[in-house]
A = this chain, B = another copy of it.
Amino acid sequence: MKIAVLGTGHVGQTLAGRLAELGHEVTVGTRDVTATLARADPDAMGNPPYAAWATAHPAVSLAPFAEAAAAADLIVNATSGDVSLAALEAAGRDNLAGKVLLDVSNPLDFSAGFPPTLFVKDTDSLAEQIQAAFPDARVVKSLNTLTAALMVEPRQLADGDHSIFMSGNDAAAKETVAALLASFGHTDVIDLGDISTARGPEMYLPIWLRLMNALSVPIFNIKVVR
């Protein structure tokens, strides 16, 4: 599949690398290609800048948001939640129309430090805002409840015996995403329902953040035992 991964940070890199490894034709989308390649410093978590990552992943292309989205069959929103709507606007609504848009972002607000709060919650969600802003995109929320490494390689933890969620209005789009998640190694994909159910997994972030602090590692996930 031709896949555009919007976002050049650690989450975007991790998703792009794994998708390329699985044989997809992957283009990472960015606001400004030159600026992205010029960044020389690691991110806040110590991950290498995009250019260093790209050298190690020559199969993955880099293009402006709109160019990446235009060529893609499926688009992944891996931008920071606070810039997701602007990034998707830059990708162009015509380039999103009719396409599966896998939204893995979280509406985190770091303005008051750590742990972050959520800038949308409870009566709305970032996934719903994206679906409302781009009604012709087929938005599916998933993977936002996991650290990047586990999004794409769930079997590195307990041989994948844990759960992942999915919300969206379009049944066929959810089938496409479920197949992609299965190809990553996810074995328990729970369809929560329409896009409004994304309020659940987005509001899960506060307990995820406290668990990361209590466990001192980001490599954990929840299994829904039933």
Question: Which residues of A are at the interface with B, using a C-beta cutoff of 8 A?
Answer: 117-118, 121-123, 157-158, 161-163, 165, 190-193, 197, 199-201, 203-211, 213-215, 217, 219-226
Contact = CB atoms under 8 A, between A and B. Distances in A.
B214 A191 contact: yes
A192 B210 contact: yes
Nearest to A157: B225
Given A118-B122, A226-B220, A207 B213 contact: no
Contact of A162 (B161, B203, B225): B225
Nearest to A160: B225
B207 A193 contact: no
A92 to B, nearest CB: 32
Nearest to A204: B207
A121 to B, nearest CB: 6
Number of identical monomers bound together in the oligomeric complex: 2
Contacts of A208: 200
Contacts of A118: 122
Contacts of A121: 121-122, 203
A112 to B, nearest CB: 8
A211 B190 contact: yes
B223 A223 contact: yes
A48 B223 CA distance: 33
A147 to B, nearest CB: 11
Nearest to A165: B207
A112 B79 CA distance: 32
A220 B214 contact: no
Given A199-B206, A207-B165, A214 B226 contact: no
A210 to B, nearest CB: 4
Given A200-B207, A219-B226, 16 more contacts: A157-B226, A158-B225, A190-B214, A191-B214, A192-B214, A199-B210, A200-B206, A200-B210, A200-B211, A201-B207, A211-B224, A215-B226, A221-B224, A222-B223, A222-B224, A222-B225
26 contacts: A117-B123, A122-B206, A157-B226, A161-B225, A163-B222, A165-B207, A190-B211, A190-B214, A192-B207, A192-B211, A193-B210, A197-B210, A197-B213, A197-B214, A199-B206, A200-B211, A201-B207, A203-B205, A204-B204, A204-B207, A211-B224, A215-B226, A219-B226, A220-B224, A221-B224, A222-B224
